[in-house]
């Protein structure tokens, strides 16, 4: 019996992004409106069923446990697995009857959009975090600069070019932080 991993042509340790890419490629290739092979509809349903299991972390874990035990006896299979399998097959059959363009726009493009939105959110969060960290460092640098100037005028400290270079570097880091935040917020 072919595994869901073999159906999507991926390895068992594939990431969710690899699963989505494989699903998108194969679902578009085997949609019955596009592929006129006699087994295209059946293959399309198998692809969708495989995706329904492998794209859900909980279902995938149960499926992995099932195939790792080499359980060939379907009577011993978890009831949830059978219920999910039936639901996945029904959903796949519904998709196979959906016109290709509607399927592509409403199903496939949404999968891709979720990935892009998540990636964009992560970039935004990292940009703000690092930008604010750099700005915080520059505020500390400005404080230290003012403190150094005051101590210099009071005669408590001697002039040091290294101290001045260190303060300029901190201010430069602050500028980088400002630019990171500005660039992140612009997007």
CB 181 within 8 A of CB 128: yes
Query: What local confidence, expressed as pLDDT, does residue 117 receive?
Result: 62
pLDDT for position 70: 54
Query: How many C-beta atoms surround the C-beta of residue 94 within 10 A?
Result: 12
Name residues whose C-beta falls within 8 Å of residue 114's C-beta, 6 or more positions apart in sequence.
none
Predicted confidence at residue 86, as pLDDT, reads: 85
Q: What is the pLDDT of residue 119?
A: 65
What average pLDDT does the structure give for the chain?
80
Q: Cα(81)–Cα(62) distance, rounded to whole angstroms?
A: 7
At residue 109, the pLDDT reads 60
Query: What are the residue ranges in the chain where pLDDT is below 50?
Result: 73-74
Q: pLDDT at position 118, please?
A: 65
State the pLDDT at residue 115.
57
CB 53 within 8 A of CB 6: no
State the greatest distance between any 2 C-alpha atoms of the chain, in Å, as a whole number: 91
CB-based contacts of 1-9 (< 8 A; 24+ apart in sequence): 1/72, 2/46, 3/67, 4/49, 4/50, 4/53, 4/54, 4/63, 5/50, 5/54, 7/46, 7/47, 7/49, 7/50, 8/47, 8/50, 8/51, 8/54
Instruction: For residues 22 and 16, give the distance between their C-alpha atoms in angstroms, rounded to a whole number.
Output: 10
CA atoms within 13 A on the CB side of 103: 22
Return phi, psi of residue 39, to 5°: -100, 10
Q: What are phi and psi of 36, to 5 degrees?
A: -95, 10
């Amino acid at each position: 019996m072919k595994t869901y991993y073999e159906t999507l042509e991926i390895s068992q340790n594939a990431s969710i992004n690899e699963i989505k890419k494989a699903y998108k490629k194969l679902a578009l290739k085997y949609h019955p409106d596009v592929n006129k092979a006699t087994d295209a509809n059946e293959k399309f349903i198998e692809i969708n069923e495989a995706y329904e299991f492998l794209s859900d972390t909980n279902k995938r874990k149960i499926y992995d446990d099932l195939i790792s035990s080499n359980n060939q006896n379907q009577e011993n299979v978890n009831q949830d697995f059978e219920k999910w399998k039936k639901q996945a097959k029904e959903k796949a059959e519904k998709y196979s009857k959906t016109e290709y363009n509607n399927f592509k726009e409403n199903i496939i493009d949404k999968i891709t959009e979720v990935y892009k939105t998540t990636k964009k959110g992560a970039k935004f969060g990292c940009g703000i975090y690092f930008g604010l960290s750099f700005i915080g460092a520059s505020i500390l640098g400005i404080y230290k600069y003012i403190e150094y100037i005051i101590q210099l005028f009071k005669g408590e400290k001697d002039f040091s070019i290294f101290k001045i270079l260190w303060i300029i570097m901190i201010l430069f880091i602050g500028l980088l932080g400002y630019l990171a935040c500005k660039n992140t917020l612009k997007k």
